[in-house]
Amino acid sequence: MATLAPAPPLRPRPTPAPPMGGAGRALDWLNFFLADVRDGLGPYLAIYLVSVRGPTQGWNEATTGLVMTIAGLAGLAATAPAGALVDRLRAKRALLVVAALLVTVASLALPFVSGFTAVAATQALAAIAGAAFAPAITGITLGIVGARAFTARVGRNEAFNHAGNAVSAGLAGLLAWKLGPQVVFWLMALLAAASIAATLAIPGDRIDHDVARGLCAEDEDPDCDAAPQSMWHVLRHTRGLSIFAAAAFTFHLANAAMLPSVGQLLAHRVGGGAATSLMSACIVGAQLVMVPVAILVGGHADRWGHKPIFLAAFAVLAARGLLYTLSDAAPWLLVVQLLDGVGAGIFGALFPVVVASLTRGSGRFNVAQGAVATVQGLGGALSASLAGWLIVTGGYDLAFLTLAVIAGAGLALYVVAMPETADRP
């Protein structure tokens, strides 16, 4: 008589994460205060160089874009090593403190340095230090809450991050209106000090450093204790990761230059101080939209599926690029910029979740995150130079249309090649 083959052993369900208490509140404040520090000067750099220093000191959209590309490439080179460092390092809180200090010092030095080389060097240092923020925060988060609660907690992290961006951008806009665009430097210093205090408030003994690097229980996976491998090995041998890296590259190639380009356009129309305030309004509006988007994605992504949500992000990004070409009036630009809250809000909330899903149980979560972020960062770094060159040679409409086409290509890639990464109940 035929016998049935034994059923494969069921994978044990992870136990619910314990209540977070003080660690959860400290993570909230860390993401809130670090929001304006982790990306350095960001779009304010373009406004400062174009409107304050300007052509009389040799700065235009092309040279500004080149500085941002150099900084992006420097951060790009540091991203994968930063992920590997977070996997190995147990002093993750100290890494965050050092990175916040370096970004702040490099940014505060900008008004006191002159020349292309010096400006590029300060921004490259800020970008290298900033490469540690994303893997350190997600690693600490995973180490505290575990895999089962990770998606919802990342959504909460992103919500507080966007709220912090909105508050800091609003303050920058109000202060810049009276004091000029240089005020963003001093505001960053204040927020960096607050983020360091929040980092130190996270109880170090609440972080499980094995879970933080994506390890599973030893009885589930014999490879649990394997050392992290190189980013190229991870990209080659983890199914779907290389496709996701290509999609992330396309998204940031299209997205990274949009807001700085809007800032430069505003600087030409209304001047430096007013442009900084309007840029702050753009950021505030988008960040306020990102808060509910991040919470919604974090709460429902595993049930709805990651792929359809990411497709919505690409579609919104392409529409945003097209809409920028319809008018250069400040109110219109502000309204269109609200769409960034949908696209970037989805991407920020799902990026670490997709990587964690693809690498679950491997012990290589932060290495993989760094590898994908490296490819993603290359897209962001090239975006600024591409947009700057297009603006100088063909105008702002050509730049925005090109970025929209790139976003459409990314959407097509995700539809055709990317597998679903959500473990739906």
**Nearest-CA neighbor of 407 among 201, 230, 298, 253?**
253
d(CA 226, CA 222): 9
To the nearest 10°, the Cα dihedral for 93, 97, 100, 105?
A: -160
d(CA 406, CA 411): 9
List own/partner pairs for 222-230 with CB under 8 A and 24 or more apart. 223/361, 223/362, 223/363, 224/361, 224/363, 225/363, 226/362, 226/363, 226/364, 227/363, 228/84, 228/87, 228/88, 228/363, 228/364, 228/366, 228/367, 229/364, 229/367, 230/367
Measured at the CA of 166, the angle between CA 120 and CA 26, to 5 degrees, comes to 95
Paired tokens of 226: 């394997």
Residue 17: count of CB within 10 angstroms of its CB: 16
Residue 303: count of CB within 10 angstroms of its CB: 11
d(CA 256, CA 381): 8
Residue type at 114 in one-letter notation: S
| DSSP conformation letters of 190-244 | HHHHHHHHHHHTS-GGG--HHHHTT---TTT-TTTTPPP--HHHHHHHSTTHHHH
d(CA 134, CA 140): 10
Phi and psi at residue 185, to the nearest 5°: -65, -45
Element (H or E) spanning 87, and its range?
helix 61-88
pLDDT in tens, the chain (425 residues): 444 444 344 334 343 444 556 788 999 999 998 877 776 666 667 777 766 665 566 677 777 778 877 887 888 888 888 988 998 888 999 999 999 999 888 888 877 877 788 888 888 898 899 889 989 999 999 999 888 889 899 999 989 988 887 787 777 777 777 776 667 777 878 888 899 999 999 998 888 888 888 776 443 444 444 555 555 666 677 778 889 999 999 999 999 889 888 888 877 776 655 666 777 777 778 878 888 999 999 988 888 999 999 999 999 999 999 999 998 888 888 889 889 989 989 998 999 999 988 888 777 788 888 888 888 888 887 888 899 899 988 888 999 999 999 999 999 999 999 999 887 54
Paired tokens of 299: 């709460």
Paired tokens of 422: 């959500």
347: left (phi over 0), alpha (psi -120 to 50) or beta: alpha
Contact 199, 140 (CB under 8 A): no
d(CA 128, CA 133): 10
**Domains in the chain: ranges and CATH:** 24-203+224-417 (1.20.1250.20)
CA 374 to chain centre: 12
Predicted pLDDT at 271: 63
d(CA 350, CA 294): 9
**Nearest-CA neighbor of 317 among 389, 241, 394, 379?**
379
pTM of the model: 0.75
42: left (phi over 0), alpha (psi -120 to 50) or beta: left
Measured at the CA of 243, the angle between CA 371 and CA 256, to 5 degrees, comes to 65
Task: State how far the alpha carbon of 412 is from the alpha carbons of 112, 340, 403, in Å.
Answer: 46, 20, 15
Paired tokens of 397: 């409409």
CA 91 to chain centre: 22
Phi and psi at residue 324, to the nearest 5°: -60, -25
